[in-house]
Structures are given as structure tokens and as C-alpha cells.
Amino acid sequence: MSETVVQGGRRRASFPALMFGAVAAPIFWLGQLILSYFVSALACYGSDHPTTIASGTALRSALYVFDAIAIAAAIAGGIVAFFCWRAVRGTVTDTRVTVQTRLSRMRFLAMWGMMSSLWFLGAIVFNVIGSVTVRLCVQ
């Protein structure tokens, strides 16, 4: 099912694990951008005109919690992609073209998952720096 399976003496990564490794970090980065924009808009323009809120503690806490979740998801996606890559790396002894093509696709998705997780982890960290250092519209 969604676990790595053994066929012909080789372990293979499952498609859901490969997809999680490839898309977890980008999706959480996008969610982090949308949430930070929403929080900033709510804090600065809560109505038709610019407003200020007395305390931004709850909003700031929400940003910090989601930042931590995004970092954890990016790391988890990279780890899952790494284990998928380890499961399908190496040479293929089977000469059938379909087996070679399938394993090549799995290796590509696993490598893409590792690289995208690393890239988007960097983007998430830069967003965290922004959410920590930039003030909300607070009196």
C-alpha cells in the first residue's frame, strides 16, 4: 500500500511517500506566506481604514507556531525523500525497460524531494527571520 514494498529483492518507495517528500516543503512555504500576509493585513487594516491593535501577542504567537510547523514539515519531507532515495538508489539488474523506467522515475522524484525540501527550508527560514524581526502594526 503506502509502505515501501519488496519486489524482486529490491525495495521500492511508495508513490504517496515520494509525493510527500516532493511537495511538503513547498506547500507549507506557501501556507506560511499566505498566513503571514493574512496576519499582517488583519493587524494593520482590520477595517476600511488603517487600524492598530493593542496587543499583537496572539497574532505573533500564531505566526511563530506556524513557522515551527513549516520548518518541521520541510525537514520531514526531506527525510522521507532521503529514505525513498536510499530505497531505490543503485543500479538495476533487471533488463526490462518498464522496471528501469519506473525506478528512474522514483529516483528522480526522491532526488527532487530532497532538493526542493532543502530549497524551501531556506525560504521558510528567511520568512521566519522576517516574521521575527518585522513589527506588526501595533501601538
CA distance 132 to 127: 9
* H/E run at residue 10: strand 10-12
pLDDT for 55: 63
C-alpha span between 72 and 92 (Å, rounded): 34
Q: In whole angstroms, give the CA distance from residue 88 to residue 84.
A: 7
Using pLDDT thresholds of 50, 70 and 90, give the confidence band for residue 49: low
- pLDDT cut 70: percent of the chain above it: 78
Q: Kindly report the length of the chain.
A: 139
CA angle 104, 107, 112 (to 5 degrees): 125
How far separated are the first and last CA of the chain, in Å rounded? 54
**Least confident range of 52-61, 69-78, 119-128:** 52-61
Q: CA 107: distance to chain centroid?
A: 19
* Span 105-129, average pLDDT: 94
Q: What are the φ/ψ torsions at residue 12 (nearest 5 degrees)?
A: -130, 145
CA distance linking residue 67 with residue 44, whole number of Å: 20
d(CA 131, CA 40): 10
